[in-house]
Amino acid sequence: MAEVFRAEEPRTAGEARIVVVKRMLPTLAEDGMARAMFKEEARLASRIHDKNVVEMFSEGEEDGRPYLVMEYVRGVNLSQLQHYTKTHSIQLEPEIAIYIVSELLRGLQAVHSASDETGKALDIVHYDISPSNILLSVHGDVKLGDFGIARTKLRKEFPQAPLNESARGKLGYLAPEQVRGEIADRRCDLFAAATIAAELLMGRSLFSAGTELGVLLAIRDAQIHPFLEFATKIPEELTQPIIQGLHKDPRARYQHAKDFRQALLAGIKSPADLLRDRLSDITGDARASRESRVTLDLPTPPAPHSADAPSYADTTPMTFELESGVQTHDVPILRYRVRTEDGIDFGPWTYAEMVEAIATGRISASDEVDVGRGTYRPIEMVPDLARHIARHLPGGEDSKTPITKRLTTTAKPDANYSLAGGGIIPILGHAALDKQSGLLLCELGSVRKEIYLRDGIPEYVSSNLAGELLGEYLVGKQVISRGELDMALAVMPRFEGRLGETLAALGLVEPVQLFQHIAEQVREKLIDLFSWESGTCSYYSDVEAPPSGFPLGLDAWGVLLEGIARRLEQKLDTTLEDTRGSALVVPHPEVLQKLAQSQFPHQLQLVLHALDRSRPLSELTRLVGRYSGESPVDPRAPLILLIHLGGISLQGPDAG
């Protein structure tokens, strides 16, 4: 958004001072929204005055381009220091690492407590606490900079601005609530600070995975086991505050930067001046090292395709132009040759043409494809193609995934259910109560859905409906265009046949946005089951989700309430409408006691408290409505769920 360079600022004593001038790029200077956001950054920075925050001296405009004049910090940023210590095999002393973070937290406290000209709190959240935005001076200073994506109450002045700017922070330093797309406050900044503290102590990344989506999954689930394993090597008083700061639930973290800082300082024994001097020395060494060499920025090599993906000599370089104007040059398009069971040959086809042929039933799982080595293999044996056979072809054996094909031919289900009348409600409810792990295979005519459970929670959902494929979902939501989807499908084998990774690698969708779209799309597959008024469901215990599955991280009870609300919207559930309100709601304590031990949503817990005795349905409905408050879930949903689970029953002449 801006370019940065050093300039001289005259000082009152006549002495020159080096400053940083941050100026808007010419391509954005004509954009009213960009100018407004640049102005907002200036306004935020002007309200914060603290020795641990980069100071803004002035702002202005020259040749139609706004600029900011800011403090120049002679040294390196924390990311550069980390690179220096890693390449020189230097391990930061634990107390120096904690000192850096404690100074960062002092700056964060100033940011979070900033107020406007009238003294009203601005409620600033930085949203991009990452090593590249933490500046270290050769004098041992630690300063927080870059408020380019910070957000305050003043953001209501810019309603046209993107709503997802909180997701633009560096991926490895986002908080779980940011990854989930929930409202995030200052506690997400504290999570990022705790992540940095853990990494400085360990000397490596906390959330690391082979892909961007893998990193986001690790953050969403707060998988901090690398630090927990490391924590046994250093004093507990240094690690316990960090572990608390990395809690998945924001309510369990420190609520203010000053409290986190005090907890960290309790573990430091050395004087602050001594730690500052040590930081000054290592920062000076890192800066000198950078100045003595030339850094070459080389492009990241393309991701290799899987070992099972075809490797052809017959490839055709192509150039794609996306609607955004971005071009991808010389993308090798793999060619597939197919031989059907009837002896008919097809091809050479591109990957996209193969997927289309599978979707239309032109070829089947048992047909063979030339994998480029002069031999043919059944399509179901090529992972990059088998995944599309499983999800594209409705009906018949060919539509089954390898898992369900094996189960339905070699094993008997542990239980069979009917999906009539909202049958999925008690199935998922009892699975959650009993913490079941396994596969629910749901079928309605030629439509098949697979729900993989872990400890009663839906972990992954797949479908053989073409319209429920990720690509079609993103096109329908206008996240990507049809042409962009075709291009991604064409090169998908280079990214191990994973569309999500392909879209992120090609820059078609931001990783955090993609992550949230995938979660919502898979969730919708599950919610759709609540609308089925017929069909069957078979349960196979101890069946694990496929490795390619996207873990949902769902709240099972929240999904049940949402699904029941969907049934009510579609007027499919008449459980309560069949009564005139005078029916008596009778609680069944033995069932309710078991239910109370589950991790229920707040709304459902309140309903349980009201079931201390039998009550008229009309009275209980009023109570539930009052408990629900502003909840988006229909207040009747908890009662319907409890009826399906046997926690309550309706008695009386008009109880249906």
Residues 325-364 pLDDT 10s:
444 444 455 678 899 888 888 888 876 677 777 766 678 8
Confidence at residue 25, expressed as pLDDT on a 0 to 100 scale: 76
Answer whether residue 89 shows pLDDT above 70.
yes
Answer whether residue 279 shows pLDDT above 90.
yes
pLDDT band per the 50, 70, 90 thresholds, residue 578: low
What's the chain's average pLDDT? Answer: 79
Single out the residue of 332, 297, 305, 302 nearest to residue 317, CA to CA.
332
pLDDT band per the 50, 70, 90 thresholds, residue 470: confident
Dihedral of alpha carbons 633, 637, 639, 641, sign: negative
For residues 476 and 487, the answer to whether their CB atoms sit within 8 Å is no
* Neighbouring residues of 274: CB distance < 8 A, sequence distance ≥ 6: none
Give the model confidence (pLDDT) of 380-395 as tens digits. Answer: 777 667 666 644 333 4
Question: Where would I find the H helices in 492-555?
Answer: 499-505, 511-528
Q: 489 is written with which tokens?
A: 């499908």
What Rg do the C-alpha atoms of the chain give, in angstroms? 29
For residues 65 and 105, the answer to whether their CB atoms sit within 8 Å is no
Question: Where would I find the H helices in 164-271?
Answer: 176-179, 186-202, 212-220, 225-230, 236-245, 257-265
**What whole-number distance in Å separates Cα of residue 241 and Cα of residue 246?**
9
**What whole-number distance in Å separates Cα of residue 26 and Cα of residue 80?**
28
**What whole-number distance in Å separates Cα of residue 25 and Cα of residue 34?**
10
Lowest-pLDDT choice from 249-258, 546-555, 607-616 = 546-555
Give the type of residue at 9.
E
Single out the residue of 216, 306, 139 nearest to residue 512, CA to CA.
216
**What whole-number distance in Å separates Cα of residue 448 and Cα of residue 464?**
6
Higher pLDDT, 257 or 550: 257
Average pLDDT for residues 290-315, to the nearest whole number?
Answer: 44
Give the model confidence (pLDDT) of 630-640 as tens digits. Answer: 566 677 888 89
Single out the residue of 206, 181, 204 nearest to residue 191, CA to CA.
206
**What whole-number distance in Å separates Cα of residue 329 and Cα of residue 507?**
14
pLDDT band per the 50, 70, 90 thresholds, residue 316: very low
Give bridge partners of residue 22 from the DSSP assignment.
Answer: 4, 68
Confidence at residue 164, expressed as pLDDT on a 0 to 100 scale: 41
Average pLDDT for residues 110-121, to the nearest whole number?
Answer: 88
For residues 54 and 145, the answer to whether their CB atoms sit within 8 Å is yes
**What whole-number distance in Å separates Cα of residue 445 and Cα of residue 258?**
60
Expressed in percent and rounded to 5, the helix, strand and coil fractions of the chain are 45, 20, 40
Give bridge partners of residue 540 from the DSSP assignment.
Answer: 439
Confidence at residue 653, expressed as pLDDT on a 0 to 100 scale: 56
**What whole-number distance in Å separates Cα of residue 249 and Cα of residue 235?**
25
Confidence at residue 31, expressed as pLDDT on a 0 to 100 scale: 74
Q: 555 is written with which tokens?
A: 């709240």
Confidence at residue 390, expressed as pLDDT on a 0 to 100 scale: 47
pLDDT band per the 50, 70, 90 thresholds, residue 488: confident
Answer whether residue 296 shows pLDDT above 50.
no
CA distances from 414 to 445, 460, 516, 541 (A): 21, 20, 34, 7
Answer whether residue 323 shows pLDDT above 50.
no
Confidence at residue 181, expressed as pLDDT on a 0 to 100 scale: 83
Name the pTM for this structure: 0.71
Lowest-pLDDT choice from 41-45, 257-261, 385-389, 608-612 = 385-389
Give the model confidence (pLDDT) of 358-379 as tens digits. Answer: 766 678 878 898 866 678 888 8
Distance of CA 325 to the CA centre of its chain: 27
For residues 254 and 260, the answer to whether their CB atoms sit within 8 Å is yes
pLDDT band per the 50, 70, 90 thresholds, residue 405: low
Give the model confidence (pLDDT) of 517-533 as tens digits. Answer: 888 888 888 999 999 99
Give the model confidence (pLDDT) of 180-221 as tens digits. Answer: 888 889 999 999 999 999 999 999 999 987 678 888 888 988
Order across the sheet with 584-587: list the strands: 615-616, 584-587, 648-651
Give the type of residue at 63.
D
Cis ω for the linkage preceding 131 (within 30 of 0):
no
Confidence at residue 62, expressed as pLDDT on a 0 to 100 scale: 82
Answer whether residue 490 shows pLDDT above 90.
no
Higher pLDDT, 460 or 278: 278
Give the model confidence (pLDDT) of 582-610 as tens digits. Answer: 788 888 988 888 887 777 766 677 777 77
Lowest-pLDDT choice from 19-23, 197-201, 317-321 = 317-321
Q: Give kind and range of the element (H or E) at residue 538.
A: strand 536-541
**What whole-number distance in Å separates Cα of residue 639 and Cα of residue 611?**
10
Average pLDDT for residues 14-39, to the nearest whole number?
Answer: 75
Single out the residue of 90, 127, 132, 93 nearest to residue 111, CA to CA.
127
Higher pLDDT, 497 or 84: 84
Answer whether residue 17 shows pLDDT above 80.
no
Higher pLDDT, 295 or 62: 62
Distance of CA 106 to the CA centre of its chain: 29
Which range, 11-25, 116-130, 161-175, 398-412, is most confident? 116-130
Region for residue 325 given its phi and psi (left: phi exceeds 0; alpha: psi -120 to 50; beta: otherwise): left
Helices (H) and strands (E) counted in the chain, each on its own, are 24, 21
Average pLDDT for residues 614-620, to the nearest whole number?
Answer: 82
Q: 546 is written with which tokens?
A: 């496929």
